[in-house]
Amino acid sequence: MGQESDQDSASSPQTSSASVSWRRLALALTVIVVAVAGFGVLIATRYTRDARANVAPAAAGVPVSVGLVKPQSVQPFAEFSGRINAVDYAEIRPQVSGRITEIRFVDGQHVNAGDVLFVIDPRPYQAAVDKAQADIQTALANVKFTKAERERGSQLVKNSDLSLETFDQRANAEEVAQASLQSAQAALESAKLNLDYAYVKAPISGRISRAEITLGNLVGSPTTAPQLLASIVSDNGVYADFEVDEQTYLNAVRDYGQTRDEEQKIPVDLVVRDSGSRVDRGHIYSFDNRIDTGTGTIRARARFANAGGSLIPGMYVSVRMGRGAIDDALLVPESAIGNDQSKRFVFIVGDGEKAEYRSVKLGPQIDGSRVILSGLKPGDRVILDHLQRLAPGAVVVPQADNRTASN
């Protein structure tokens, strides 16, 4: 008994040590298994996420607005730069010399033709008129006397009481007196004209500028050119003068006609630079009689009513001249047209809802859209926005497919 107990006591520590080792080994294996499993899950999750990230762009499309191209009748315009000029313009300069004694207008006033604007001291000219009238009275008296002398001489010659030589002298004296009378009458007319010139009048109706000469100044020196007193621009409309290229001119003539009445049917719109929203409508007034061989252009003039008076001579404007109606025109907004070096292009929705590149040839501009001369056909769905996000073959998601490309 005692011996067995000693054996049990001796074997017990060995058994306990082995049991602990097995437990430790089992725990280590468990940790390794869990770690491997966790790493596998992490790898699988990351692979799945990467795969989804790689697949998403290929599956998703670019949302775009789309317009349907439909043929329509339009009347395009060619645009040119021009200047506003008054229909009538007059510079007021003195025609006689003297001192300014009156100014009968205020700056910017509307004046009528014939209104007195300036008064140049009229007293010397009134005196010249009075003298000319007195000279006429003298000439009339001389004519009356010489006429009576000639008549008496004609009776005396018949009775041989007066020589023919003396009679001829009396007849000549009468003719000289008649000539002196005519000279005096002409001098009176000249004096009256100069007196009238002393009252400087408006030659046309319109808006007058400021007075360039003030009261008390001498004007009309015989040794210098006449000074500018003021200027008047008419208020019966304005002209817009501009240069038209030869091809546009030929198109307009072909569409409307070559007579003056037919030319004046050509519509013209005028836009003041930097205003944009305000458009004045008018018509061609005239074309020049020759094309400039150096520039290939012809001078054109359009007339506008200018009812509000906002168009001022000298103003820089844009003039849009009609080219005639175009039937079955295809219009695309300017925003839908891209620029690829020297080419212009649009994207349309092609097969499989993919962006398709189309090179286009542009025509005239009409209200923010362009006429497409080639590259599109009726029924094409033009992509209107997000051009920078597109490439040929890119998948798109049309957002609006119920409006025309020109809207």
Q: Secondary structure of the chain: what % helix, strand, coil (to 5)? A: 35, 30, 30
Among the listed residues 187, 231, 190, the one whose alpha carbon sits nearest the alpha carbon of residue 208: 231
Are the beta carbons of 325 and 75 closer than 8 angstroms?
yes
Could you give the CA distance from residue 330 to residue 72 in angstroms, rounded to a whole number? 7
Question: How far is C-alpha 172 from the geometric centre of its chain's CA atoms?
Answer: 72
Q: Are 407 and 67 spatial neighbours (Cβ–Cβ below 8 Å)?
A: yes
Mark whether 307 and 275 lie in a shared domain: yes
Tell me the average pLDDT of the chain: 83
Higher pLDDT, 4 or 79: 79
- List the CATH number of the domain containing 354: 2.40.420.20
pLDDT per residue as tens digits for the range 94-128: 999 999 999 999 999 999 999 999 999 999 999 99
Chain centre distance of CA 119: 41
Is position 407 within any domain? Answer: no
Cβ neighbours of 175 (radius 10 Å): 12
Q: What is the domain extent for residue 391?
A: 63-74+327-398
d(CA 347, CA 360): 10
Last residue of a domain, one of 201, 232, 263: 232
CATH number of the domain within which 106 lies: 2.40.50.100
Output 5 or 247, whichever has higher pLDDT. Answer: 247
Judge whether residue 237 has pLDDT over 60.
yes
Task: Name the DSSP letter for residue 302.
Answer: E
Q: Are residues 216 and 268 in the same domain?
A: no
| Those residues with Cβ within 8 angstroms of residue 221's Cβ, 6 or more apart along the chain or in another chain | 97
- What is the pLDDT averaged over residues 315-323? 84
118 and 228 fall within a common domain: yes
Q: Is residue 406 part of a domain?
A: no
CA 320, 325, 328, 334: dihedral to nearest 10 degrees? Answer: 0
Shared-domain flag, residues 174 and 266:
no
Residues 97 and 172 in one domain: yes
CATH code of 244's domain: 2.40.30.170
- Do residues 103 and 131 both lie within one domain? yes
Domain boundary among 232, 250, 285: 232
Confidence category of residue 5, pLDDT binned at 50, 70, 90: very low
**Is 404 a member of any domain?**
no
The residues that bridge with 280 in the sheet, in sequence order, are 270
Q: Which of 100-104, 185-189, 308-312, 325-329 has the lowest mean pLDDT?
A: 325-329
Task: Examine the domain organization and report whether 103 and 216 are in the same domain.
Answer: yes
pLDDT score of 10: 44
pTM over 0.85: no
CB of 108 closer than 8 Å to CB of 312: no
Statement: residue 225 has pLDDT above 60? yes
Provide the number of structural domains found in the chain: 4
Residue 171 has pLDDT above 70, yes or no: yes
Alpha carbon distances (Å) from 31 to 19, 21, 37, 43, 45? 19, 15, 10, 18, 21
Task: Say whether pLDDT at 55 is over 50.
Answer: no
The answer on 334 and 359 residing in a single domain is: yes
